[in-house]
Structure 1
Amino acid sequence: MEEINVNNEKVIIRKANKSDAKSLIEYLNIIGGESDFLTFRTGEFGRSIEQEEEFITNTLSTKNALFIIAEVDGKIVGNLNFSGGSRQRNAHVGEFGVSILKEYWGKGIGEELIKYLINWSKDSGIIRKINLRVRNDNTRGINLYNKLGFLEEGIIKRDFLINDKFYDSLIMGLLID
């Protein structure tokens, strides 16, 4: 667990636990309607509370996976989920997704979640590379990832389809050595 101060508010960053499942689903349904940069929109997350509990439990028991949340006064305001490969040959590499409630955008919480992931990866003794996929028009996200040392590695054409318009994604990676 880590505690940071953001605009005189105490933000707690901690690993998710099974009892967070209901609040996480509510959070994900809110953020799905706040940004077109996510892979889902409101109502598309598609997990029941029981399925989310199982997902959290499985993540907690996997050495190359991480699921963290950011809380303000007990309210989930952000999350980050990282999953490493499932086989020996790719267990050292994984991809993450991060999201923040719109009212907390621009306050540094996403950056703190990613820094937590980077430090966890360095300490894990397992993770040697972190990947991410970001829409290529998400300049704020790309600037943040660049600031944290991620390098651009490639483009996925037509990765998103939103309102009958295609968007490309940028693949970025950070070596952990």
Structure 2
Amino acid sequence: MKYSKLKSGQILVIREAQKEDAPKILDYIDKVSKESDNLTFGEGEFGITLEKEAELIEEIFKSNSQLMICAFIDDQLIGQLVFRAGSRPRIRHSGEFGITVLKEYWGMGIGKELLSYLIAWAKETQIIRKINLKVRSDNLKAIGLYTKIGFISEGTMTREMFINGQFYSSIHMGMEIN
């Protein structure tokens, strides 16, 4: 568990997700899906049942190469990061994460805190040697954060997303862990 004081003076608590968090997480996902077009799913498209979410949380929690963390302010879930590595020996050392923060908390350093937790965890595992991500090419704030933290652009995929009749490219970024 990690505690951080934000610029606003609020206390941010980051911890690993637990099976009992499944209802809160699904409510949270419903909220963020309505707030941003930067996700791989939109409103009503997530499609995971409460039972499946609880199973997924438990599977990740038991794994030494996967991570699901939640960020809370005053017991309200306001951010989440999920990292999944490959399951086979040849690709187990690398994985990809997705990160979300409720819109009202954007710009407060929460994404940076979640990423800091992920990187520290990856180093501790002695398993994870590469962290990857995909970001919409027009999401300049996110790209700026990832670059500032040390992620490097590794290429662009065109037509990665199709939202409201328009195609969007994504930039693939990575960070090597020593």
- Per the normalisation by structure 1, the TM-score is 0.99
Q: Secondary structure at the match of 2:35?
A: coil
How far apart are the structure 2 equivalents of 1:153 and 1:34?
A: 28
How far apart are the structure 1 equivalents of 2:52 and 2:66?
A: 17
Could you say which residue in structure 2 is the equivalent of 1:45?
46
Which letter does structure 1 place at the counterpart of 2:5? Answer: N
How far apart are the structure 2 equivalents of 1:39 and 1:118?
A: 23
Q: Once the two structures are superposed, what CA deviation does each residue of 1:22-58 show, in whole Å capped at 9, x if it has no partner?
A: 0000000000010000111121111111110000000
Aligned residues: 177
**RMSD of the alignment, in Å?**
0.5
How far apart are the structure 1 equivalents of 2:12 and 2:90?
A: 37
Could you say which residue in structure 1 is the equivalent of 2:111?
110
1:16-165 paired onto structure 2 within 5 Å:
16-165=17-166
How far apart are the structure 1 equivalents of 2:10 and 2:45?
A: 31
Could you say which residue in structure 1 is the equivalent of 2:12?
11
- Unaligned stretches of 5+ in structure 1? none
Stretches of 4+ moved more than 2 A in 1?
none
- Unaligned stretches of 5+ in structure 2? none
Q: Once the two structures are superposed, what CA deviation does each residue of 1:68-114 show, in whole Å capped at 9, x if it has no partner?
A: 00001111000000000110000000000000000000000011000
Shift of 1:66: 0.3
How far apart are the structure 2 equivalents of 1:37 and 1:13?
A: 22
Q: Secondary structure at the match of 2:144?
A: helix
Percent identical pairs in the alignment equals: 46
Q: Secondary structure at the match of 2:90?
A: helix
Could you say which residue in structure 2 is the equivalent of 1:168?
169
- Per the normalisation by structure 2, the TM-score is 0.98
Shift of 1:61: 1.1
Q: Secondary structure at the match of 1:87?
A: coil
Question: Which region of structure 1 is more displaced relative to structure 2, 36-45 or 126-135?
Answer: 36-45
Shift of 1:62: 1.1
